Chains A and B, each alone.
Chain A
Amino acid sequence: MVDSEDIDIDNLQFFNRKITRRQAIAKATAAGAAIGVAIVAGAGGYLAGTSVSPGKSSTTTVTTTATQATTSAASLGATPAERAVNAVKALKAAGKIPAGAKIRFLEAAFRAGNMTPKAGDVRTDPYTGKTIQTSINMLTKWEDLTGIPVEIDLLNDLQLYDKAISEATTKAGTWDFLGQRIDFLVDFINAGVALDLTDFEAKYQPDIRTGNCQVVPVFAQGYYTSDGKYWGFPGCGDWFSYYNRRDLVTNPKLQSAFETQFGYQLPVNGPDTWDQVLDLARFFDGYKGTEQTLPDGTTSTLRGAYFFRDTWFSNIEFRIRFLELGGLLFDSNKNVTLDNQITRKALQDMKALVPYQARDAFTSSWPTMYPNYANKQVFQTISWASVAQFSASGPVGGQGFGVYLTPGYKLNNKLIRVTVLYDQTSYIVEKYGKLTSAVPDVPYLFGQWLTDPEISTQELANPGAISDYFRTCHGLDERMIGTFFAVWPPNPGLEPGRRGASEAFDVQFQALCGTWQLAGLHELQDLWGTQMNAYFTDVQDIDTTVRKMQQGTDGVMDRLGRDAQYQRWQYVMKTFPPALKTLHGIS
Chain B
Amino acid sequence: MKGKKSIYYATMLVAALFAVFPLFWLVASSFKSPFEWFARPVVWIPAHPSFDSYAAIFGLPAPSITVVGGVLVPSFYAFRNSLLAAIGTTLAAVAIGYMGAYSISRYKTGGAMTYFFVLTSRMLPPVAVVIPLLVFFQTLTLVDTVEGLVLIYLGVNVAFVIWIVRGFIDDVPKEVEEAAALDGVTKWSIPFRIILPLVKGGLAASALFVFILSWTEFGIALILTQYNSTTIPVQLFKYEFGGGPALGPMAALSTLAVIPVIILGYIIQKQLVKGLSMGSIRGRR
Contact = CB atoms under 8 A, between A and B. Distances in A.
Task: From B111, B237, B243, name the one whose CB has the most chain A CB atoms within 10 angstroms.
Answer: B243
A466 B113 CA distance: 58
A124 B226 contact: no
A109 B238 contact: yes
A53 interface: no
Interface string B25-67: 0000000011101111000000000000000000101011011
B245 A156 contact: yes
Interface stretch (A69-77, A165-173, A435-443, A548-556): A165-173
A2 B186 contact: yes
B18 to A, nearest CB: 24
Interface string A104-116: 1001111111101
Interface stretch (B1-9, B69-77, B84-92, B158-166): B69-77
A7 B70 contact: no
A377 B67 contact: no
B187 interface: yes
Interface in A349-380: 364-368, 371-372, 375, 377
Nearest to A121: B66
Given A15-B177, A25-B114, A467-B241, A371 B40 contact: yes
A172 to B, nearest CB: 6
Given A6-B186, A159-B222, A174 B135 contact: no
A4 B186 contact: yes
Interface residues on A, range: 35 or more
B230 to A, nearest CB: 9
Interface in A150-180: 151-159, 162-163, 166, 169-172, 174
A47 B134 CA distance: 13
Contacts of B34: 126
B156 to A, nearest CB: 16
A154 B245 contact: no
Nearest to A158: B237
B22 interface: no
Interface stretch (A38-46, A186-194, A262-270): A38-46
B153 interface: no
Interface residues on B, range: 35 or more
A48 to B, nearest CB: 11
Nearest to A23: B110
A17 interface: yes
Contacts of B139: 39-40, 42-44, 46-47
Contacts of A94: none
Contacts of B226: 153, 163, 174
Interface string A459-480: 0010000111000000000000
B140 interface: yes
B242 interface: yes
Contact of A14 (B67, B72, B144, B187): B187
A522 interface: no
Given A112-B72, A159-B237, 16 more contacts: A2-B188, A2-B189, A15-B174, A15-B177, A18-B108, A21-B112, A24-B110, A108-B69, A109-B69, A154-B73, A155-B237, A163-B222, A365-B244, A371-B35, A386-B242, A467-B243
Interface of B: 33-35, 37-40, 59, 61, 63-64, 66-73, 106-114, 117, 131, 134-136, 138-140, 143-144, 174, 177-178, 181, 184, 186-189, 222-223, 226-227, 237-245
User: What 3 A-B pairs come out closest when comparing CB atoms?
Assistant: A109-B69, A43-B139, A367-B244
